[in-house]
């Protein structure tokens, strides 16, 4: 049985993603920070860590990418979770809900729902933490926005499901671990690189990929610490580094780059999990 570490309290959306990906028999390990995920994997307390790297509405999670640069773990897979916010309260509680607690980002993603009902939004440090705290210390007129897993974990009653303002709310996770991931038929490769501070250097680097018909699925820059106005580039592309065209592209990129770090090749999310795929889009419409 695999053990997968995640950030947050039990019932967090990260844990929900893990259980959807691996099944109910997976063992999970809650940690208070992203750094704690890496520490748990490094100490052998967890086989893998579930690291959220981007959200379809809020964008990339910069701290996650900074930690991938700092540590020597590899990406072993990716997960895509359709984030479903639920309004819940103490089972059998008396009185109408007037105040709703949750993480500020979750409250922002449910703003229209809250305003239409006149609920007062109360920021909390964590979605699952808000559910746990209400279960431990019940308070009349208080509800929580959190995952269905959190309601199950803490014995809360879901009043309204899917209260998010937009259904197009997905979070992508990397599964990070030691060593290389087993090769899969449908793989992605992730890497970090920097180029010399000279005209055309980035174009020349990316041409090593495009000239070999390699499809980029992500390209993003992050400031390079200690070098003002210079940047690291984070790239995901389709293919495995052991394929001839990918291996040749990486060799060419290495000659162009001032710095290059491979985060590894790993099984890509299945089409039904990936909202960017045609099959994923069809499944979204059926939700």
Catalytic residue among 113, 173, 174, 237: 173
Catalytic residue among 28, 127, 171, 189: 171
Q: What secondary structure, in 3-state letters, does the chain show?
A: CCEEEEECCCCCHHHHHHHHHHCCCCEEEEECCHHHHHHHHHCCCCCEEEEEEEECCCEECHHHHHHHHHCCCEEEEEEEEECCCEEEEECCCCCCCCEEEECHHHHHHCHHHHHHHCCEEEECCCHHHHHHHHHHCCCCCEEEEECHHHHHHHCEEEEECCCCCCCCCEEEEEEEECCCCCCCCCEEEEEEEECCCCCCHHHHHHHHHHCCCCCEEEEEEEECCCCCCCEEEEEEEECCCCCHHHHHHHHHHHHHCCEEEEEEEEECCCCCCCCCCHHHHHHHHHC
171 included as an active-site residue: yes
173 included as an active-site residue: yes
Active site residue ranges: 171, 173
């Amino acid at each position: 049985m695999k053990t997968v570490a995640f950030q947050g309290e039990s019932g967090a959306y990260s844990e929900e993603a893990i259980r959807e990906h691996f099944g109910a028999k997976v063992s999970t390990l809650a940690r208070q920070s992203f750094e704690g995920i890496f520490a748990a994997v490094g100490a052998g307390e967890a086989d893998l860590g579930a690291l959220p790297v981007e959200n379809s509405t809020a964008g990339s999670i910069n701290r996650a990418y900074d930690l991938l640069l700092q540590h020597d773990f590899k990406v072993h897979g990716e997960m895509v979770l359709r984030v479903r916010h639920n309004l819940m309260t103490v089972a059998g509680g008396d009185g109408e809900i007037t105040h709703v607690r949750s993480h500020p980002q979750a409250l922002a993603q449910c703003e229209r729902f809250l305003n239409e009902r006149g609920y007062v939004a109360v920021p909390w440090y964590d979605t699952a933490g808000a559910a746990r705290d209400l279960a431990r210390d019940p308070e009349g007129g208080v509800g929580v926005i959190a995952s269905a897993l959190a309601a199950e974990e803490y014995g809360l009653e879901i009043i309204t499901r899917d209260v998010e303002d937009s259904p197009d709310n997905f979070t992508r996770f990397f599964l990070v671990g030691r060593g290389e991931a087993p090769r899969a038929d449908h793989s992605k490769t992730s890497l970090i690189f920097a180029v010399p501070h000279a005209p055309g250097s980035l174009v020349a680097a990316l041409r090593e990929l495009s000239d070999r018909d390699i499809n980029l699925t992500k390209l993003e820059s992050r400031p390079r610490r200690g070098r003002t106005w210079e940047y690291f580039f984070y790239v995901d592309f389709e293919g495995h580094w052991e394929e001839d065209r990918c291996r040749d592209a990486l060799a060419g990129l290495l000659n162009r780059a001032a710095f290059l770090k491979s985060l590894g090749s790993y099984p890509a999310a299945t089409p039904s999990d990936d909202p960017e795929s045609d099959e994923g889009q069809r499944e979204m419409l059926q939700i």
